[in-house]
Amino acid sequence: NPDQSKHLETARMRIFDMWIDFVNLRSETYAEHSRIPAM
């Protein structure tokens, strides 16, 4: 449900009579002394 997953990148598409949700997942890594993520 995209409304419940606002922190994720989501898209919704209808195929025939079925709704399909797509989610783009990602991982982040941080340097030891930084709060800025490197993707």
pTM beyond cutoff 0.85: no
Q: What residue segments make up the domains of the chain, in order of their start?
A: 2-33
Q: What is the structure's pLDDT at 6?
A: 63
Largest pairwise CA distance in the chain = 50
Q: What pLDDT, on a 0 to 100 scale, did the predictor assign at position 39?
A: 61
Give tens-digit pLDDT for 1-39: 556 656 677 888 999 999 998 888 777 777 788 777 766
| φ, ψ of residue 3 in degrees (nearest 5) | -65, -30
Rg for the chain, CA atoms, rounded: 15
For residue 28, the model assigns a pLDDT of 76
Per-residue pLDDT, 15 = 95
